[in-house]
Chains A and B, each alone.
Chain A
């Protein structure tokens, strides 16, 4: 029962490098999300998707891109990494069926940009 799987768990990037954070879910959920969590803060929404082929910006999208070619996968791309992108990144998914609006989270990726 995998749920939401994120890779990698840890990564160190140099300023200006690029990388893709992978996220996959096996629950056939339509809704998927990327959040970032800075120290002492709650989670902030970066991008979200309501289904394959449909994505939109959240609260803090600058410096990131996403794609959703399948229901299962929702990768997050960082272009030209900056120190301000040092954070913990969470992928989540959910399926709205009446009251069951629970979001399921991956274990997070700790990213450090130096």
Chain B
């Protein structure tokens, strides 16, 4: 089974600064997808960014970008110009075609605190 590891239970960043959240995964597949989801206190799971493994170019979405290192099986999330609204739990997730109807495997999450 594919595993997803987030080694940082908590991170803190000052407003307007940049923070990087780490994620590593284990898989024997060559074609898969990686995601970062944000979970604010409201509990809603919100997709932040998505990366297809066959694409070498790192995905970006406004202030959010990833550093995808396929050989190292690493998928970190960089948040630039951090805002108070970025405070939340962030989950790294993995999905592929062989996995239970394309269900996602999640890491344990990183709690991000944003200070003024």
Number of interface residues of A (CB under 8 A): 27
Q: How many A-B pairs fall under 8 Å by CB? A: 61
User: Contacts A40-B108, A42-B91, A102-B50; is A31 near B102 (CB within 8 Å)?
Assistant: yes
Residues on B with beta carbons closer than 8 Å to the beta carbon of A103 = 35, 45, 47, 95, 104
Are A58 and B100 within 8 A (Cβ)? yes
Interface of B is mostly: mixed
Q: State which of B45, B95, B107 has its C-beta within 8 Å of the C-beta of A101.
A: B95
Residues on B with beta carbons closer than 8 Å to the beta carbon of A107 = 42-44
Residues on A with beta carbons closer than 8 Å to the beta carbon of B4 = 42
Closest CB-CB distance, A5 to chain B, in whole Å? 12
Are A102 and B101 within 8 A (Cβ)? no
A interface residues with partner B (beta carbon < 8 Å): 31, 33, 40-45, 48-50, 56, 58-59, 88, 90, 92, 94, 96, 99, 101-103, 105, 107-108, 110
B interface residues with partner A (beta carbon < 8 Å): 1, 4, 9, 33, 35, 42-45, 47, 50, 52, 91, 93, 95, 100-104, 106-109
